[in-house]
Amino acid sequence: MDGGSTAAHAMFEADAASRGLGIELVSAGGGRAVARMEIGPAMVNGHGIAHGGYVFLLADTAFALACNSHGPVTVAAGADVEFVAPARLGDVLVATARERARWGRSGIYDVTVHRDAPDGPDGPAVVAEFRGRSRVLRDPVPRPR
């Protein structure tokens, strides 16, 4: 874990849901963040394929870390995800979030989720492409997601 952003790191400390899934904060700061998660037995169906919801959740966590790396409490207003390839039991997924645009209290962040392994016969290493829409809260009281 790097020391890039205190706000994002504090948010991650409070995010019991992400930590309970074994998500690791690799780095956060300057509108960027990287998070990792291993696909465990509770995340797959009977065929060993990860539920898309868990792939989304990892991307959403990286997005939240990136948009909160600036300081003010920021929430996800919405997101679009495209599932590129299935993830499987034992895969280690890495979500890399980058700020694309920021204006007023709004922002757009692109997150790519890829398998932490070289491309193989299963197809491309990219698992999902996610685009999140963020909103800085006016309310000074933190209401993190």
Binding-site ranges for its own copies (CB under 8 A): 13-18, 20, 41-47, 49-54, 56-58, 60-61, 75-86, 100-101, 103, 106, 108, 110, 112, 123-124, 126, 129, 131, 133, 142-145
Smallest separation, CB 141 to its own copies (Å): 10
Name which of 108 and 136 has its Cβ closer to its own copies.
108
3-state secondary structure at position 67: helix
Distance CA 55, CA 83 (A): 9
The dihedrals phi and psi of 3, each to the nearest 5 degrees, come to: -110, 25
Smallest separation, CB 102 to its own copies (Å): 8
Name which of 4 and 56 has its Cβ closer to its own copies.
56
Distance CA 125, CA 33 (A): 19
Show the DSSP H helices in 1-145 as ranges. Answer: 6-14, 16-20, 52-67
Smallest separation, CB 11 to its own copies (Å): 8
